[in-house]
């Protein structure tokens, strides 16, 4: 039995065997061969194993996710049997006397680069499909051990060096009971997605991957950040009880689903949810969300081979607005960059991606991408209560430019006779310290602020939110952060605007009393944090929390703030 400590990233307890997710090395070197017939046989065997796998995945996907989602595997099967690909591969083995993997890789790469350079969307998509199929066959030819996370079909806990947001999006909740990674922090996007998928997770363990083997029994305790390898029967029993108690607690919280969020002394605040896809709305409603405080639209741009069209976007935004039935929905425009990549944009690698060409910076330069999104949003605006928010605003000029592009697109639509809502609030994320400090000026021009503490903390403390080595500096309760939050809220109120928070701090039980006291109007968090937050706020008096916050602002360290909050009566 081995205990490993990491960062609690998504609540709940999971107990299941280990599934190591390692991305293998597909490098293929030139290798000459003598026996061409044997090499052809190796190729045929690899093709037939790949065929069996794809048929099984296709059948399972059809059954579990429907015909549409299974189509992708049908196109993979077509490629796998395409003579235009396979005849040149066999010829190459016979005439050049090279290994099957080399012949396949060389031939496939030629097709891939040809497709990638085509104008047609269809052919560019085929390039991505061909890459996947080639990897699948190479896995067999090179004797690699790799299973795509989407293909897991037994109950497991995924263990990986890191998971990208798109790896995480592919995890099937039915089988993936939890995950744990070597790197990452509580606000890395895979952690955020784990919370919306309600998969218990522990990240930033530094070395869990090297400490486990496939099939080891593992406990992932996403409540306190512990991972236990090969626990004794007694420990399994103890954690089974902990898991059941947590599930029981969730049932208790559910009773608060329809209740408004009111403090003990009768002050209402709004509890909204952060979502990444229209599918997440179900979780928002189930958890009694009073709105969507942050729709991270970049997930709509990920996991595909090209930009989503205006129509695809319009349908996604419309769905969310309709499902929320008039409750406010804050949609954030594209925030790509940092740990969220879009390979098809072919952006150069940067030394400091979190400080680089991202979010609104990219949108203001590649305005065609931005305008498409703005049009889709404006067209969807009549289906509900839409608010539009720009991310990573550092200067007033950026806000003005973004807003004027929005107004231009609105004027165009109106002149085309398209209906657009007249009540769209336009706000910004405050996640750059310069913007927090200058909030009084911004408040004169924006309709609202939403404080993005995930980034605001990393920029204020100069501590990468993804880097577990500096996670000790990632301090939401540092009085410096609290002072910035206060500046933003006060500036908003002075101009009659509202101030929300959509960083993870908004759902943090230690931060909530302070934020209530500082006067935050809207708290937006992972849907699963809403009911615990509602239950907590009902026990707090806002006027007492104002006094608490005033004291906290005068303290010197985060630890002192935590001690202060611990001392209050939350019953």
* Alpha-carbon gap, residue 467 to 6, rounded angstroms: 12
Q: Compose the 465-504 pattern: x for residues touching ligand PEP by CB under 6 A, - for all others.
A: -------------------------------------xx-
> Which partner in Mg ion, ligand PEP, none is near 100 (CB below 5 to 8 A by kind)?
none
Q: Which residues are part of the catalytic machinery?
A: 189, 502
The token duo for 522 is 């809207």
One residue of 39, 167, 335, 508 binding ligand PEP per CB under 6 A: 335
Quick one: DSSP state of residue 476?
T
One residue of 20, 131, 195, 296 binding ligand PEP per CB under 6 A: 296
Of 6 and 476, CB closest to ligand PEP: 476
Within residues 410-469, the interface with ligand PEP by CB under 6 A covers: 431, 452-455
Size of the residue set binding ligand PEP (CB under 6 A): 11
* Residue 454 among known ligand-binding residues: yes
Dihedral over Cα of 355, 358, 360, 366: its sign: positive
Report the nearest approach of ligand PEP to the CB of residue 459 (Å): 9
Within residues 158-187, the interface with ligand PEP by CB under 6 A covers: 187
Of 338 and 513, CB closest to ligand PEP: 338
Report the nearest approach of Mg ion to the CB of residue 455 (Å): 4
The closest alpha carbon to 524, from 244, 233, 243, 327, belongs to 327
* Alpha-carbon gap, residue 446 to 340, rounded angstroms: 26
Of 100 and 466, CB closest to ligand PEP: 466
* Alpha-carbon gap, residue 307 to 121, rounded angstroms: 10
> Which partner in ligand PEP, Mg ion, none is near 296 (CB below 5 to 8 A by kind)?
ligand PEP
> Which partner in ligand PEP, Mg ion, none is near 537 (CB below 5 to 8 A by kind)?
none
| 8 Å CB contact between 389 and 436 | no
Of 231 and 338, CB closest to Mg ion: 338
Q: Residues 391, 329, 278, CA angle at the centre, nearest 5°? A: 95
* Residue 358 among known ligand-binding residues: no
- Cβ–Cβ contacts within 10 Å for residue 505, how many? 26
Please name the residue that has the structure tokens 């690699």.
Answer: 144
> Which partner in Mg ion, ligand PEP, none is near 502 (CB below 5 to 8 A by kind)?
ligand PEP
Report the nearest approach of Mg ion to the CB of residue 332 (Å): 9
* Residue 465 among known ligand-binding residues: yes
Specify the pairing of strand 217-221 against strand 226-229: antiparallel
Biggest CA-to-CA distance, the chain:
85
Quick one: DSSP state of residue 262?
B
Report the nearest approach of ligand PEP to the CB of residue 537 (Å): 20
Question: Coil, helix or strand for 179?
Answer: strand
Of 228 and 512, CB closest to ligand PEP: 512
Of 39 and 431, CB closest to Mg ion: 431
Report the nearest approach of ligand PEP to the CB of residue 452 (Å): 3
Report the nearest approach of ligand PEP to the CB of residue 453 (Å): 5
Q: Compose the 373-412 pattern: x for residues touching Mg ion by CB under 5 A, - for all others.
A: ----------------------------------------
Within residues 535-554, the interface with ligand PEP by CB under 6 A covers: none
Of 129 and 335, CB closest to ligand PEP: 335
| 8 Å CB contact between 482 and 561 | yes
The closest alpha carbon to 429, from 320, 341, 528, 330, belongs to 330
Report the nearest approach of ligand PEP to the CB of residue 282 (Å): 21
Within residues 420-479, the interface with Mg ion by CB under 5 A covers: 431, 452, 455
* Alpha-carbon gap, residue 401 to 392, rounded angstroms: 13
DSSP for 11-63, written as a single string: -SEEEEEEEEE----------B-S-HHHHHHHHHHHHHHHHHHHHHHHHHHHH
> Which partner in ligand PEP, Mg ion, none is near 468 (CB below 5 to 8 A by kind)?
none
> Which partner in Mg ion, ligand PEP, none is near 522 (CB below 5 to 8 A by kind)?
none
Helix-, strand-, coil-residue percentages of the chain, each rounded to 5:
55, 15, 30
* Residue 332 among known ligand-binding residues: yes
**Residue 273's Cα: distance from chain center in Å?**
14
Of 101 and 508, CB closest to ligand PEP: 508
> Which partner in ligand PEP, Mg ion, none is near 503 (CB below 5 to 8 A by kind)?
ligand PEP
Within residues 275-294, the interface with ligand PEP by CB under 6 A covers: 294
* Alpha-carbon gap, residue 86 to 43, rounded angstroms: 10
| 8 Å CB contact between 30 and 87 | no
The closest alpha carbon to 457, from 434, 491, 438, 432, belongs to 432
Report the nearest approach of ligand PEP to the CB of residue 503 (Å): 3
Of 51 and 277, CB closest to Mg ion: 277
Size of the residue set binding Mg ion (CB under 5 A): 3
Q: Is 391 left (phi over 0), alpha (psi -120 to 50) or beta?
A: beta
> Which partner in Mg ion, ligand PEP, none is near 107 (CB below 5 to 8 A by kind)?
none
Q: Residues 414, 420, 424, CA angle at the centre, nearest 5°? A: 125
* Alpha-carbon gap, residue 359 to 298, rounded angstroms: 9
The closest alpha carbon to 16, from 239, 184, 249, 251, belongs to 239
| 8 Å CB contact between 173 and 12 | no
Report the nearest approach of ligand PEP to the CB of residue 60 (Å): 32
Give the annotated binding-site residues for phosphoenolpyruvate.
296, 332, 454-455, 465
Residues that bind ligand PEP (CB under 6 A): 187, 294, 296, 335, 431, 452-455, 502-503
| Residue numbers at the binding site for Mg ion (CB under 5 A) | 431, 452, 455
Residues placed in the known binding site for Mg(2+): 431, 455
Residue positions forming the annotated binding site? 296, 332, 431, 454-455, 465
């Amino acid at each position: 039995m081995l205990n490993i400590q990491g960062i609690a990233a998504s609540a709940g307890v999971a107990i299941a065997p280990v599934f190591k997710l390692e991305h293998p090395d597909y490098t293929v070197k030139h290798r000459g061969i003598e026996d061409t017939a044997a090499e052809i046989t190796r190729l045929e065997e690899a093709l037939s194993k790949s065929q069996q796998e794809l048929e099984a995945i296709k059948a399972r996907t059809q059954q579990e996710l429907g015909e549409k989602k299974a189509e992708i595997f049908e196109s993979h099967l077509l490629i796998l049997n395409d003579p235009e690909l396979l005849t040149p591969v066999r010829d190459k083995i016979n005439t050049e006397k090279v290994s099957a993997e080399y012949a396949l890789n060389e031939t496939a790469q030629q097709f891939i680069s040809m497709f990638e350079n085509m104008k047609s969307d269809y052919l560019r998509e085929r390039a991505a499909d061909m890459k996947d199929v080639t990897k699948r066959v190479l896995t067999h030819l090179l004797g690699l051990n790799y299973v795509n996370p989407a293909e897991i079909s037994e109950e497991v806990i995924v263990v990986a060096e890191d998971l990208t947001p798109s790896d995480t999006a592919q995890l099937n909740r039915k089988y993936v009971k939890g995950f744990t990674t070597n790197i990452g922090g509580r606000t890395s996007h895979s952690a955020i997605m784990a919370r919306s998928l309600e998969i218990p997770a522990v990240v930033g363990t530094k070395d869990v991957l090297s400490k486990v083997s496939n099939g080891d029994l593992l406990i992932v305790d996403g409540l306190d950040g512990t991972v236990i390898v090969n626990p004794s029967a007694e420990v399994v029993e103890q954690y089974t009880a902990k898991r059941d108690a947590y599930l029981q607690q969730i049932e208790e919280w559910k009773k608060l689903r329809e209740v408004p969020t009111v403090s003990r002394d009768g002050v209402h605040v709004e509890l909204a949810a952060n979502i990444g896809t229209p599918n997440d709305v179900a979780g928002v409603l189930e958890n009694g969300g009073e709105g969507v405080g942050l729709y991270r639209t970049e997930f709509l741009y990920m996991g595909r081979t090209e930009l989503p069209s205006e129509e695809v976007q319009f349908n996604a935004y419309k769905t969310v607005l309709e499902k929320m039935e008039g409750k406010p929905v804050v949609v954030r425009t594209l925030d790509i960059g940092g740990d969220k990549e879009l390979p098809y944009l072919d952006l150069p690698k940067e030394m400091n991606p979190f400080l680089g060409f991202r979010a609104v910076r990219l949108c203001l330069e590649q305005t065609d991408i931005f305008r498409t999104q703005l049009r889709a949003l404006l067209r969807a605006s009549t289906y509900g209560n839409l608010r539009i928010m720009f991310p990573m605003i550092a200067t007033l000029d950026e806000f003005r430019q973004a807003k004027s592009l929005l107004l231009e697109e609105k004027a165009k639509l109106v002149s085309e006779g398209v209906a657009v809502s007249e009540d769209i609030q336009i706000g910004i994320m405050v996640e750059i310290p310069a913007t927090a400090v200058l909030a009084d000026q911004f408040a004169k021009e924006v309709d609202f602020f939403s404080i993005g503490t995930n980034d605001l903390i990393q920029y204020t403390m100069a501590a990468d939110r993804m880097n577990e080595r500096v996670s000790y500096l990632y301090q939401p309760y540092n009085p410096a952060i609290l002072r910035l939050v206060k500046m933003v809220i006060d500036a908003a109120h002075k101009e009659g605007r509202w101030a929300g928070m959509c960083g993870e701090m908004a759902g943090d039980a230690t931060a909530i009393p302070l934020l209530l006291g500082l006067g935050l109007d809207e708290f937006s968090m992972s849907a699963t944090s809403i009911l615990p937050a509602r239950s907590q706020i009902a026990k707090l008096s806002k006027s007492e929390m104002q006094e608490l916050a005033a004291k906290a602002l005068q303290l010197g360290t985060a630890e002192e703030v935590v001690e202060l909050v611990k001392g209050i009566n939350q019953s």
